Structure 1
């Protein structure tokens, strides 16, 4: 009888602890937003696929409403997150460095100090595509005055690729638009070339090469070296397996992408978002295969933005060091 009473007491105590823990977990959500939005980019680009899929994963895992929003891309996402118009966004390190210094083309003179890093995404290669029947097989083949689509205005591609091509001596007529729209224009002969800065495979190109013959144009060694010297990019090689068109790896340059958050978002909320993302890489790869590099080891590629305190907590709990200069005071 005494043994039974002891077991009953232990069971009651365990039940009380579970209830208390549940209540505590519930109270921890008291300052969480009721929903969240992720700033992505135009439809047909990797940001839109990656960001919308990631938003759905977070929403499902944490039981909170959320989704992706079409935007102008990395530069606009920095401004939207800084202003609190969206909770999260996707950006690249070049525009991020400009935003921190108050040199964003969307807000000159405004140092965007309400933008924090969350996690590394992938490298964005700068690549070029043209129809095979155009005869354009190299950058030097691009004729003077060619119409080139650079993606949405103020996107990473639109910010850096025109300057890159000018450095390489290309004269062009600049066009902007969503990637899907530009892919359609290329197929219809309305533009000559598309200059992409987007995660690979780029959905618009994958779709286009199913319908027609496409040339993926690589940088020569000399062109790559010149661009590496002039711009905040790294050497990159587009694997031949990325597209049906490629028979061997293509030489390119790239820039790292990071997910970002408003620095004023609740720490517990951002901790859980980081935890779900970093501990479910298999699910992230199901969102987009470029997420194979969405792993904590790659946090070292952010040297610009402070990490959100909620993200810092997860990284440090799991043995990853965040430099003091990338922590908020």
Structure 2
């Protein structure tokens, strides 16, 4: 290669590099230097999952990011809508209520500035009791049982009491973080915990290491009654989920989605979505429930407007056909 040709090639390479660098800089216009993900209480799947993907995104994009303990899906909708946190985790039921203005965190406020960015996993509803109580079925739950439903305003606290009432259970309602409720169950201060969280639930996994528990499934009739009355679908908790289970446990479930403040830059949310959705193995390493964090599950969003950055990612990479009227600002 002549010196002239070499110089020309070097100049072209430098120009391309400069252009690429400039493009990177342009793409990051308006990006925050740090971000927070609203999760739920410690001991629950939301906290593990949300904190894990916050760390993954922060590392990949060279930002500072972390998960924050919150009251769960209802509060996350409020926090993301208002911009107090950039990202959050929610469930389709609470999302629909928040858009309609019936979120108990701020009744009457339509929280439409929280947008969908990617599918997470299904949240099964499950019931756990100590084996020593003799509670093996829903029908075994005694009248006036003290039942822990998780943090106030969480998916579990919003829907599980109504579900159990639908099945004729009479109970005393208790709230708290999952770790705290697990301790109360062990100490005999609670009779039952009604969980709504991605499986395996860390608190349940810890309980079965420390004591004998029963994971209580719904009968076919109970499952059908709940599906008929609430925005859930049938689900089976696989026996490999917990050492306590020897066969699938019949349940119901509701989809979860990650959300972002709708005003975040499109390029930023596109990049965040790309990090999470492009390598499922890394997400499964954070929590096994992320096996459902797959591009093809984009269509499980039935309640939320899409963030433009996320909608573009799924359109370009997953063949998604998202109507313009389902994209924020579209």
TM class by shorter chain equals over 0.9
Q: Which runs of 5+ in 2 are unaligned?
A: none
5 Å matches for 1:294-309?
A: 294-309=293-308
Q: Is the 8 A contact 1:303 1:326 kept in 2?
A: no
Deviation at 1:156, TM superposition (A): 0.3
CA-to-aligned-CA distance 1:159-183 (integer Å, 9 cap, x gap): 0000000110000000000000000
Q: How far 1:29 moved relative to its partner? A: 1.5
> What's the counterpart of residue 142 of structure 2?
143
Q: Secondary structure at the match of 1:199?
A: coil
Give the secondary-structure state (helix, strand or coil) at the position aligned to 1:158: helix
Measure, in 2, the Cα distance between the counterparts of 1:96 and 1:30. Answer: 29
Q: Aligned equivalents of 1:171 and 1:315: distance in 2?
A: 45
Show the 5 A alignment for 1:245-264: 245-264=244-263
State how far apart, in whole Å, the 2-side matches of 1:107 and 1:56 are: 30
Q: Does 1:323 align with 2:323?
A: yes
Separation in 2, partners of 1:28, 1:246: 49
RMSD of the TM alignment (CA)?
Answer: 0.9
Q: CA deviation at 1:119?
A: 0.4
Question: Matches of 2:66 and 2:7 in 1, distance apart?
Answer: 46
Contact 2:298 2:314 in 1 (8 A): no
The aligned residue for residue 189 of structure 2 is 190
Q: What is aligned with 1:34?
A: 33
Distance 2:312 2:231 in 1: 29
Aligned to 2:61: 62
Output the TM-score relative to the length of structure 1. 0.98
Q: Deviations over 1:107-151 (max 9, x none)?
A: 111111101000000000000000001000000000000100000
Partner of 2:22: 23
The aligned counterpart of 1:53 is: 52
SS state of the match for residue 260, structure 1?
strand
Q: Secondary structure at the match of 2:43?
A: coil
Match of 1:284 in 2: 283
**Which deviates further from its counterpart, 314-323 or 71-80?**
314-323
**CA positional deviation for 1:7:** 2.3
Provide the C-alpha distance between the structure 1 equivalents of 2:312 and 2:27, rounded to a whole number of angstroms: 16
Alignment partner, residue 96 of structure 2: 97
Q: Which residue of 1 aligns with 2:171?
A: 172
d(CA) in 2 for partners of 1:233 and 1:87?
28
* Pairwise CA distance, 1:30: 2.8
Residues 125 and 200 in structure 1, CA contact (< 8 A), matched pair in contact too: yes
**1:323 Cα deviation after fit:** 2.7
In 2, the alpha carbon distance for the partners of 1:302 and 1:324 equals 15
Partner SS, residue 231 of structure 2: coil
Return the offset for 1:103.
1.1
Output one character per residue of 1:220-276: Cα deviation in whole Å (capped at 9) or x when no partner.
Answer: 001001101111110000001100000100000000000000000011100100111
User: Does the CA-based 8 Å contact 2:124-2:252 persist in structure 1?
Assistant: yes
For normalisation by structure 2, the TM-score amounts to: 0.98
Counterpart CA distance in 2 for 1:91 and 1:187 is: 29
Q: Equivalent residue for 1:212?
A: 211
Q: Give the Cα separation in 1 of the matches to 2:27 and 2:322.
A: 25
2:243 aligns with: 244
Deviation at 1:320, TM superposition (A): 2.1
CA distance in 2, matches of 1:324, 1:91: 23
Structure 1 segment 154-165 matched on structure 2, within 5 A? 154-165=153-164
